């Protein structure tokens, strides 16, 4: 399958704009001087030309297919009703009409899907035409005489005349040789088993607009030039794919296809999110036909991040996978029961607390309620709840109580005590529904029913009349039509009126879960629950009293939402999603162990990929990921991969920030130089001016995305307003901001999670702003968002995590 070397004339493809400045910096040896060029440049360019020409031809064909299918879609839409005979005069015709419409709608949907698929495939090829491939390896299989030349790109491309692969998909088995090895003896896993051989050449290309800009041979150039090129570029409003430069450890993450739980711990900027997305693309490719994008779910930290990463998969020719946030899940499950605080409001609340008793109470509450000790306490509580501790609500119907709470409790008390709680509740539910049915029978002749029958519509009468008519035709005995119609009508009316009651019972809303949760805190306040060891009794009582107050006001603080949901599921049964096959949790360090446990239970048939960095844990509780890692023995096939190389930031930024991270010495900086981080002390009334100047410096340096990162949303709003008043054009971001844009943004550190900027300015990194341990991680997160340059303004003395850094890792003014 060696690609043929037919030289074709260039097709004069439109050139993309390329950052020439960067180009020269990155490749001083690759200017227009022919002598400096790689000796095989011409030959490779001829191959590019040939592939591009074939791609152009294919594109013409694909575009014709797209218009053909599009035409069919338009045609079906236009003549949709021509092929459907609509007849609703009797029930049989109605059913027939329904099926005819459904059939027509299915044909349309299928054609639309084909159209979208064809259009997407054409788009990918259009894009690939500009960069048909990014690498070449020459591989000789053991025992074979021929060396195969393998070009690797974002998708496979085949010569339809010869059936040869002109380009291999980066996910093809042989492509892993490129990612995992240097030239020499190599092996890779193929469907037919392990294949051994020798890689005689590993070549990388920078191709834009169908023209080779640079090419390097591993072993001849030092280091990874293509990676340097990729990392020297500017930050983007959308995350880029990294398929041309995936590193070996990242490739392990991407191609792991066996672990039920894969935990990836990695430094800031080590490519965890990138690896996760390329992994999704890899799995979709490998299991094509069996795995759909809709069976994969990514938990992301916030909507901003979701939009930031949304492009990666479509760029690789794959459908986007589902995305959600844990809060979205919580809010959906607890809808209608409470006003649920979100994680960002919790953070804002905690960050704005002055040191003192209130801060101690709220911080303890947030961290303790996320602990496994509290989860265990809830488990124990639920298992010992029955029967006296259960709380029920009465069943009410139109201002009347059909069953009192005590009557419901009495039904519960009759259920089998040794059954699991959800089974007992289900038994109560069945009994309640039966009693509602009986109640409905009794009510048939009630006076209010008689009154309301008068008010029923003509359609209702018509419906009932037809039903009775039909029944009479089949009846073998005499039939009192008038009486039958009246009964039918009354039944219809009662069913309508009782619908909310039945739904209440079906939703198991008769179990007063909020009261049961609250009861735990009431018992704790009364001293009937052991105070957590080492905790001051007054602080403990305040936590309990505050929780009771919030619940009474129907507010659920964020720290209570997961334990509450957990308890609710222990009582009422677990919601499960068995359709999902892969769940990715990015920023996994921000989840408590209970939250991770809840997700695990929710997706029992799914593999889990957890990606996180304990040093960026921004919540006031311990990162649950650490606990999961400790549980490796209880997960057969559990795999843990550590990524230590940081790619996002320049080496000086990494050298400065890694000292702030626990075990940060292990973080390896990629050898990309840049200015030293700058720390400048400033008077409080001088900060706005200083930041304004810095923004100007960054803009002059050509940075397109600049972030001013603050500790809280309050500070962000204030500073953005001051900067705008001072003449800077600053966009203020908050938790509702859904998209990224180039330019200058002001953003609280906790919302800057997972994203990056060319230049970062941290506003007020002083000791009075960042004091507590969990703020260290917030500060580290803020600083590590910078790709090329980092500056920190301090209103007062720099915080201790700056002060602890070696003096030569930053410049101080």
Ligand X SMILES: Nc1ncnc2c1ncn2[C@@H]1O[C@H](COP(=O)(O)OP(=O)(O)OP(=O)(O)O)[C@@H](O)[C@H]1O
Nearer to ligand X, 177 or 411 (CB): 177
Contacts of 754 (CB under 8 A, 6+ apart): 273, 300, 301, 305, 308, 309, 586, 587
For residue 14, the minimal CB distance to ligand X (Å) is 26
Residue 40 sits at the vertex; the CA angle it makes with 39 and 44, to the nearest 5 degrees, is 155
* 8 A C-beta contact, residue 361 and residue 539: yes
- How far apart (Å, rounded) are the C-alpha atoms in residues 165 and 786? 40
Nearer to ligand X, 273 or 606 (CB): 273
For residue 53, the minimal CB distance to ligand X (Å) is 29
SS (H, E, C) 110-156: HHHHHHHHHHHHHHHHHHHHHCCCCEEEEEEECCCCCCEEEEEECCC
Query: Of 630, 584, 624, 632, nearest to 608 (Cα)?
Result: 584
Question: Is 268 known to sit in a ligand binding site?
Answer: yes
Nearer to ligand X, 231 or 795 (CB): 231
For residue 787, the minimal CB distance to ligand X (Å) is 7
Nearer to ligand X, 242 or 421 (CB): 242
Nearer to ligand X, 371 or 781 (CB): 781
- How far apart (Å, rounded) are the C-alpha atoms in residues 795 and 265? 34
Nearer to ligand X, 231 or 565 (CB): 231
Contacts of 813 (CB under 8 A, 6+ apart): 678, 679, 680, 681
For residue 270, the minimal CB distance to ligand X (Å) is 4
For residue 179, the minimal CB distance to ligand X (Å) is 9
Query: In the 8-state DSSP scheme, what is residue 554?
Result: T
Nearer to ligand X, 415 or 784 (CB): 784
- How far apart (Å, rounded) are the C-alpha atoms in residues 126 and 120? 10
* 8 A C-beta contact, residue 648 and residue 235: no
Query: Of 10, 74, 16, nearest to 42 (Cα)?
Result: 10
Question: Is 271 known to sit in a ligand binding site?
Answer: yes
For residue 253, the minimal CB distance to ligand X (Å) is 11
> What string of DSSP letters covers 344-412?
HHHHHHHHTPPSSHHHHHHHHHHHHTTSHHHHHHHHHHHHT-TTTT--B--EEETTEEEE-HHHHHHHH
Question: Is 266 known to sit in a ligand binding site?
Answer: yes
Residue number closest to ligand X, CB atom? 271
For residue 657, the minimal CB distance to ligand X (Å) is 10
Beta strands 743-748 and 705-710: pairing type?
Answer: parallel
- How far apart (Å, rounded) are the C-alpha atoms in residues 521 and 381? 11
* 8 A C-beta contact, residue 460 and residue 486: no
For residue 405, the minimal CB distance to ligand X (Å) is 50
Question: Is 272 known to sit in a ligand binding site?
Answer: yes
- The residues pairing with 102 across neighbouring beta strands, listed in sequence order, are none
Question: Is 273 known to sit in a ligand binding site?
Answer: yes
Residues in the site for ligand X, rule: CB under 6 A? 227, 230-231, 240, 242, 245-247, 250, 266, 268-274, 613, 616, 647-648, 754, 756, 784
Question: Is 270 known to sit in a ligand binding site?
Answer: yes
Nearer to ligand X, 243 or 744 (CB): 243
* 8 A C-beta contact, residue 641 and residue 252: yes
For residue 298, the minimal CB distance to ligand X (Å) is 12
Nearer to ligand X, 401 or 739 (CB): 739
Binding-site annotation, residues for ATP: 266-273
Binding-site annotation, residues: 266-273
């Amino acid at each position: 399958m060696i690609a043929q070397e037919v030289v074709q004339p260039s097709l004069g493809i439109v050139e993309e704009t390329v950052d020439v400045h960067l180009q020269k910096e990155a490749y001083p040896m690759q200017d227009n001087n022919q002598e400096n060029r790689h000796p095989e440049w011409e030959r490779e360019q001829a191959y590019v030309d040939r592939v591009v020409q074939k791609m152009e031809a294919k594109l013409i064909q694909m575009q014709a297919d797209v218009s053909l299918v599009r035409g069919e879609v338009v045609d079906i839409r236009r003549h949709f009703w021509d092929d459907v005979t609509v007849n609703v005069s009797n029930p049989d015709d109605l059913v027939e009409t329904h099926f005819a419409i459904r059939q027509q709608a299915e044909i349309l949907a299928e054609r639309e899907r084909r159209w979208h698929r064809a259009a997407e495939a054409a788009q990918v090829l259009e894009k690939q035409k500009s960069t048909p491939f990014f690498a070449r390896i020459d591989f000789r299989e053991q025992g074979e005489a021929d060396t195969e030349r393998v070009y690797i790109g974002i998708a496979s491309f085949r010569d339809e005349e010869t059936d040869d692969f002109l380009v291999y998909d980066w996910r093809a088995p042989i492509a892993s040789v490129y990612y995992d090895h240097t030239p020499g003896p190599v092996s890779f896993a193929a469907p037919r088993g392990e294949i051994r051989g020798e890689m005689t050449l590993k070549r990388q290309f920078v191709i834009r607009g169908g023209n080779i800009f640079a090419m390097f041979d591993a072993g001849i150039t030092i280091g990874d030039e293509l990676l340097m090129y990729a990392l020297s570029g500017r930050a983007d409003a959308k995350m880029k794919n990294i398929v041309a430069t995936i590193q070996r450890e990242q490739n392990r993450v991407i191609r792991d296809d066996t672990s039920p739980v894969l935990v990836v711990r990695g430094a800031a900027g080590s490519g965890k999110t990138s690896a996760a997305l390329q992994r999704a693309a890899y799995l979709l490719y490998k299991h094509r036909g069996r795995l759909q994008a809709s069976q994969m779910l990514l938990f992301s930290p916030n909507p901003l991040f979701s939009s930031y990463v949304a492009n990666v998969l479509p760029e690789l020719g794959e459908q986007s996978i589902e995305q959600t946030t844990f809060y979205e899940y919580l809010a959906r499950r607890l809808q209608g029961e409470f006003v649920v605080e979100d994680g960002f409001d919790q953070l804002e609340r905690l960050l704005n607390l002055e040191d003192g008793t209130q801060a101690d109470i709220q911080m303890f509450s947030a961290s303790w309620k996320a602990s496994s000790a509290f989860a265990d306490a809830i488990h124990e509580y639920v298992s010992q709840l029955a029967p006296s501790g259960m709380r029920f609500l009465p069943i009410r119907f139109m201002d009347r109580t059909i069953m009192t709470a005590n009557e419901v409790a009495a039904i519960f008390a009759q259920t089998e005590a040794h059954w699991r709680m959800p089974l007992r509740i289900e038994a109560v539910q069945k009994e309640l529904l039966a009693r509602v049915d009986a109640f409905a029978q009794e009510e048939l002749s009630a006076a209010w029913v008689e009154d309301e029958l008068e008010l029923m519509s003509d359609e209702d009468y018509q419906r009932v009349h037809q039903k009775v008519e039909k029944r009479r035709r089949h009846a073998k005995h005499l039939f009192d039509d008038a009486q039958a119609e009246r009964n039918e009508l009354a039944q219809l009316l009662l069913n309508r009126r009782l619908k909310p009651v039945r739904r209440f019972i079906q939703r198991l809303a008769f179990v007063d879960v909020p009261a049961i949760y609250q009861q735990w805190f009431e018992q704790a306040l009364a001293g009937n629950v052991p105070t957590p060891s080492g905790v001051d009794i007054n602080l403990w009582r305040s936590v309990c009293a505050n929780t009771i107050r919030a619940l009474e006001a129907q507010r659920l603080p964020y720290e209570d939402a997961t334990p509450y949901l957990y308890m609710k599921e222990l009582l009422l049964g677990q919601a499960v999603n068995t359709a999902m096959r892969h769940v990715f949790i990015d920023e996994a360090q921000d989840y408590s162990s209970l939250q991770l446990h809840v997700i695990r239970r929710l997706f029992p048939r799914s593999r889990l990929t957890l990606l996180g960095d304990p040093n960026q844990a921004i919540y006031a509780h311990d990162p649950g990921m650490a606990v999961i890692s400790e549980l490796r023995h209880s997960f057969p096939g559990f795999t843990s991969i550590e990524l230590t190389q940081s790619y996002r930031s320049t080496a000086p930024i990494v050298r400065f920030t890694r000292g702030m991270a626990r075990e940060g010495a292990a973080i390896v900086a990629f050898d990309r130089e840049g200015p030293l981080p700058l720390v400048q002390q400033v008077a409080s009334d001088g900060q706005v001016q200083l930041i304004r100047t810095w923004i100007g410096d960054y803009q002059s340096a050509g940075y397109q995305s600049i972030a001013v990162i603050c500790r809280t949303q309050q500070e962000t709003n204030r500073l953005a307003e001051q900067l705008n008043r001072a003449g800077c054009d600053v966009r203020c971001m908050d938790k509702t901001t859904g998209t990224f844009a180039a330019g200058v943004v002001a953003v609280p550190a906790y919302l800057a999670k997972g994203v990056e900027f060319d230049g970062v300015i941290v506003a007020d990194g002083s000791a009075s702003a960042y004091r507590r341990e969990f703020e260290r991680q917030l500060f580290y997160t803020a600083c590590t968002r910078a790709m090329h340059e980092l500056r920190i303004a301090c209103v007062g003395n720099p915080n201790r995590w700056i002060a602890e850094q070696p003096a030569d890792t930053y410049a101080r003014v």
